[in-house]
Structure 1
Amino acid sequence: MRNFSLKKNERLRSKNDIDKLFTSGESFVIYPFRIVYKFSDSNSSSKASILISIPKKRFKRAVKRNLLRRRTREAYRLNKDTLLHNLPNNHTLNIAFLYISNELHDYSVIEKKMKELLVRLNKEINLTDTDTKTDKI
């Protein structure tokens, strides 16, 4: 059964965790998003915590920033099960979605790109997971 909720504990709020994410996290770009992600060893109740950032420099009006934030959050909420299915139980994945476009995209475009992002992030996680398993052997 799929879980479509996005609870408060799935949001990245700790300043410490956010600083660690941006200082030592890995990243890639799938336009209009830049993704920064990092595994942490915290035993949180959620497998993945997210942060969504829409820059004020590109969108001066809060209405547009809030609209993009809502669209991004909704696209993640509906498609997060593809990512969470393969995560190990003892690790938490911290993810930051940074909107880098100057244009206001429709929800259909954002959802399509979110699906691509989650598939690529899944591949990146599997690559790092196999690397750590081979290092231990």
Structure 2
Amino acid sequence: MNEIEMEEKSVEGVRFTMGKSEKLRHRTLVEGLFSKGETLYEYPLRLTWRIMDVEEMESSFRTGLPPRLGRLQMMITVPKKKLRHAVDRVLMRRRIREAYRLNRIPLLHSVLDRDNIYLELAFIYLHKDESDYFTIEKKMKRLLSKLEDKLKNIVG
């Protein structure tokens, strides 16, 4: 991204940082996401997602909700079967994370505008070769817009 684009993004007054609270890292939530979640495809990415209300989220933990648990959480998976070398998997994970970080703001606002819902996302890379950033970003935008449309229909 060049300096002009960076300035335009910062002028909007929105912070594009991703904190620890936005990472999906609790085992019970990840298992529930993959067992009960819905799926969207935009090759080379697959998005598995799940909406939870506060009661469902609290029942996932023995001691109640952990502090600073984000309402929108995500994780990225790049299978070893597809990309054998760790450096390639890390590169693809970084590209996916960057594309998500820069394009998640409308989705984040739509989740925060609705009370008492949590949204979990898992991005899985499906291609056997590396993809460039622009391809990943284009597919990420399509996936996130599809997800926003589904959320509008479900949660209303």
Q: Secondary structure at the match of 2:95?
A: helix
> Shift of residue 123 of structure 1?
0.4
Q: Secondary structure at the match of 2:82?
A: coil
**Runs of 4+ displaced beyond 6 Å:** none
2:71 is the alignment partner of 1:54:
no
Give the CA RMSD over aligned residues: 1.3
Gaps of 5+ in 1: 131-137
> Shift of residue 45 of structure 1?
4.2
- For residues 12-31 of structure 1, the aligned pairs below 5 Å read 12-31=24-43
2:119 is the alignment partner of 1:93:
yes
Q: TM-score, normalised by structure 1?
A: 0.90
Q: Secondary structure at the match of 2:34?
A: helix
Q: What is the match of residue 129 of structure 2?
A: 103
Q: What is the match of residue 77 of structure 1?
A: 101
Q: Secondary structure at the match of 2:100?
A: helix
2:142 is the alignment partner of 1:116:
yes
Q: Deviations over 1:30-60 (max 9, x none)?
A: 1111110001223654221001000000111
Count of residue correspondences: 130
> Shift of residue 67 of structure 1?
0.1
Q: Secondary structure at the match of 1:85?
A: helix
Q: What is the match of residue 134 of structure 1?
A: none
Separation in 1, partners of 2:23, 2:131: 23
Q: Percent identity?
A: 38
Gaps of 5+ in 2: 1-12, 58-64
2:19 is the alignment partner of 1:7:
yes
Separation in 1, partners of 2:26, 2:75: 10
Separation in 2, partners of 1:82, 1:115: 11
Q: What is the match of residue 50 of structure 2?
A: 38
> Shift of residue 101 of structure 1?
1.0
The amino acid of 1:28's aligned partner reads L
The amino acid of 1:109's aligned partner reads T
The amino acid of 2:137's aligned partner reads E
